[in-house]
Amino acid sequence: FKVVSIPTKPVEGQKTGTSGLRKKVKVFQEENYLANWIQALFNSLSPEEYKNCALVLGGDGRYFNIEAAQIIIKIAAGNGVGKILVGRDGIMSTPAVSAVIRKREAKGGFIMSASHNPGGPENDWGIKFNYSSGQPAPEYITDKIYENTLSISEIKMANIPDTNLSQLGPVEYGSFTVEVIDPVSDYVELMENIFDFNLIKTLFSRSDFRFIFDAMHAVTGAYAKPIFVDKLGADVGCILNGVPLQDFGQNHPDPNLTYAKDLVDIMFAENAPDVGAASDGDGDRNMILGKHFFVTPSDSVAMIAANAQEAIPYFQNGPKGLARSMPTSGALDRVAEKLNLPFFEVPTGWKYFGNLMDAGKLSICGEESFGTGSDHIREKDGIWAVLAWLSIIAYRNKDKKEGEKLVSVSDVAKEHWESYGRNFFSRYDYEECEFEGANNMLKHLRDSISKSTPGEQYGSHILQFADDFSYTDPVDGCVVTNQGIRFVFTDGSRIIFRLSGTGSAGATVRMYIEQLEPDVSKHDLDAQTALKPLIDLALSISKMKEFTGRETPTVIT
């Protein structure tokens, strides 16, 4: 095949955020917009990182993925890539891409997804690049890509025909091969090696246990039936919204109390199932519900960590270390302390966990934003988290006879709070605010932290310190700054503010509130009630309303 050189000019604004480049579909459809970024990426890697090597390509099934896949394949061929392993119909979840990169020793992979952002012609599209151990590209690579987007002048594209993405198997063009692979099988095999599938199968076979999974018309629709139904024997009716759609059925494919409303209604109805779960657009997030019970993600990772060794074969020698993102609650810290494990607090975004895992310092980690995972891959993993909870419930009930009362999700959670205390947690999102107001609010907060002094009284709390979080990677020494403004109090409560790095319009302000409650008699309080005074304090410290003009948040979790 021939390589055609296409002249091009730089376009503004191609800097990646917390997780890849996300814009409206219409922006990506502008001439050379995607092609420029992909070429800039190749310009940022050294030739040995891609020439004659394999790269993986997958996506969450959203609108524009099929066109985008063809562009990416041709530019990869034009730059001398040896092989592209692409998921059938362009489908592959984020965790599965990470798994396939690792298993097939590819040098990296592309994920066509804007994750939990809505899809369709009027909504969002996105692209992420993952590196050779399957982790999101580190900042020095994404910075380089951005620099190269500012000076790009040429796109190298192979003049090969469009690939039939529905036809499994390899197609060769001289030195370049594009192979359409089953997006599910490598991933399922990995899950079977991590969990005791027979244990979960026994739970599913009980007449007194019911499970429900909401794929939100997103990518886990492709994984749910092969895993929950075909392998584990669940009833096929347990899968809601199981067909991936280009517009996710016009919903936000975001598994939280606001956007996974169908599932929440079912789980809080009178005759609710025992375990309910959902995953997001690209399959890396998860929400776990018990009957009439919501497991807040910060608790979920702590509870998985506390139960992992006994319930999950992969962790039979105990986890090596635990980690969470900075705004995630301190529930996990207490587990690390009790199990005497190394513990790390990293900035928001999964890319910071990878180095710790590669260095053998970290096994289980999570984020408050419905992300949970382990070192089996280098991404957060929605289905993994669901299987982890199913394993815990299955293990706790393995000796229970039919009809005997089962240990429920809420029993596991309440027992956990009893021994560790409960970290009440809530996040308020103010989506699509004006940039100016949001930035001024952050400026005001930076100003307040510089004037604050430890020991000061804030409501009923005493300030331990206030800062703008920065992180030094203990493995490679890289430093990142300005990762979120935090007010940390002596009683373990925290108030945190940061701006989102994943939106495609305006500025999204996130406010995180946490308070530790050791008193068991208060554990049954609703989080919003328990946190009310601290929330009011946070709103007044930040002058939220004054700066953003918002009376109420758009999403509360």
Q: Which of residues 222-261 bind Co ion (CB under 5 A)?
A: none
CB of 257 vs ligand VG1, minimal distance in Å: 16
CB of 67 vs ligand VG1, minimal distance in Å: 22
**What order do you get walking across the sheet with 286-290 strand by strand?**
239-240, 211-214, 275-279, 286-290, 293-295
Stretch that binds Co ion, among 281-289, 291-299, 421-429, 439-447 (CB under 5 A): 281-289
Pick one of 14, 115, 256, 307: the residue that binds Co ion (CB under 5 A). 115
Nearer to ligand VG1, 209 or 497 (CB): 497
Helix (H, G, I), strand (E, B) or coil at 23: strand
Q: Which of 44, 98, 113, 115 is catalytic?
A: 115
- Whose CA is closest to 22, among 379, 499, 501? 501
Note whether 274 binds Co ion by CB under 5 A: no
Tokens of 420: 């560790």
Q: How far is CA 420 from CA 81, 294, 364, 366, in A?
A: 51, 18, 18, 18
- Distance CA(157)–CA(35), nearest Å, equals 9
Task: State the virtual CA torsion across 130, 136, 140, 141 in degrees, nearest 10.
Answer: 20
Tokens of 199: 């244990």
For residue 186, the cross-strand partners are none
The full length of the chain comes to 557
Stretch that binds Co ion, among 69-77, 111-119, 173-181, 444-452 (CB under 5 A): 111-119
What number of chain residues touch Co ion (CB under 5 A)? 5
Pick one of 214, 274, 280, 299: the residue that binds Co ion (CB under 5 A). 280
Note whether 379 binds Co ion by CB under 5 A: no
Q: What mask, x for binding ligand VG1 by CB under 6 A, covers residues 311 to 330?
A: --------------x-----
Pick one of 142, 220, 502, 548: the residue that binds ligand VG1 (CB under 6 A). 502
Pick one of 124, 214, 284, 379: the residue that binds Co ion (CB under 5 A). 284
Q: How far is CA 242 from CA 12, 86, 228, 238, 282, in A?
A: 38, 22, 12, 10, 13
- Distance CA(245)–CA(229), nearest Å, equals 20
Note whether 285 binds ligand VG1 by CB under 6 A: yes
Position of tokens 């995607």? Answer: 34
Position of tokens 């599910």? Answer: 184
Decide which of Co ion, ligand VG1, none touches 369; Cβ closer than 5 to 8 Å per partner kind: ligand VG1
Q: Tell me if residue 115 is catalytic.
A: yes
Is there a contact between 42 and 55 (Cβ–Cβ < 8 Å)? no
Note whether 280 binds ligand VG1 by CB under 6 A: yes
Stretch that binds Co ion, among 75-83, 251-259, 282-290, 394-402 (CB under 5 A): 282-290
Cβ–Cβ contacts within 10 Å for residue 64, how many?
Answer: 23
Note whether 255 binds ligand VG1 by CB under 6 A: no
CB of 546 vs ligand VG1, minimal distance in Å: 23
- Whose CA is closest to 266, among 276, 258, 257, 256? 276
Note whether 350 binds ligand VG1 by CB under 6 A: yes
Decide which of ligand VG1, Co ion, none touches 130; Cβ closer than 5 to 8 Å per partner kind: none
Q: Which of residues 14-43 bind ligand VG1 (CB under 6 A)?
A: 18-19
Stretch that binds ligand VG1, among 53-61, 201-209, 346-354, 385-393 (CB under 6 A): 346-354
Cα within 13 Å of Cα(172), Cβ side:
2
- Whose CA is closest to 76, among 165, 157, 146, 163? 157
Contacts of 312 (CB under 8 A, 6+ apart): 194, 195, 196, 388, 391
Decide which of Co ion, ligand VG1, none touches 494; Cβ closer than 5 to 8 Å per partner kind: none
Note whether 124 binds Co ion by CB under 5 A: no
Cβ–Cβ contacts within 10 Å for residue 146, how many?
Answer: 17
Q: What mask, x for binding ligand VG1 by CB under 6 A, covers residues 93 to 132?
A: ----------------------xx----------------
Residue 550 burial (C-beta neighbours within 10 Å; 0-12, 13-18, 19+): middle
Nearer to ligand VG1, 14 or 500 (CB): 500
Note whether 296 binds ligand VG1 by CB under 6 A: no
Is there a contact between 27 and 136 (Cβ–Cβ < 8 Å)? no
Note whether 282 binds Co ion by CB under 5 A: yes
Nearer to ligand VG1, 459 or 501 (CB): 501
Note whether 369 binds ligand VG1 by CB under 6 A: yes
Nearer to ligand VG1, 254 or 517 (CB): 254
Contacts of 139 (CB under 8 A, 6+ apart): 351, 478, 480
CB of 17 vs ligand VG1, minimal distance in Å: 6
Note whether 501 binds ligand VG1 by CB under 6 A: yes
Pick one of 54, 385, 510, 547: the residue that binds ligand VG1 (CB under 6 A). 510
- Whose CA is closest to 454, among 441, 471, 467, 469? 467
Cβ–Cβ contacts within 10 Å for residue 339, how many?
Answer: 16
Is there a contact between 473 and 323 (Cβ–Cβ < 8 Å)? no
Is there a contact between 112 and 189 (Cβ–Cβ < 8 Å)? no
CB of 73 vs ligand VG1, minimal distance in Å: 23
Q: Which residues bind Co ion (CB under 5 A)?
A: 115, 280, 282, 284-285
Which residues are annotated as catalytic?
Answer: 115
Q: Which residues bind ligand VG1 (CB under 6 A)?
A: 18-19, 115-116, 280, 284-285, 325, 348-350, 367, 369, 371, 500-502, 510
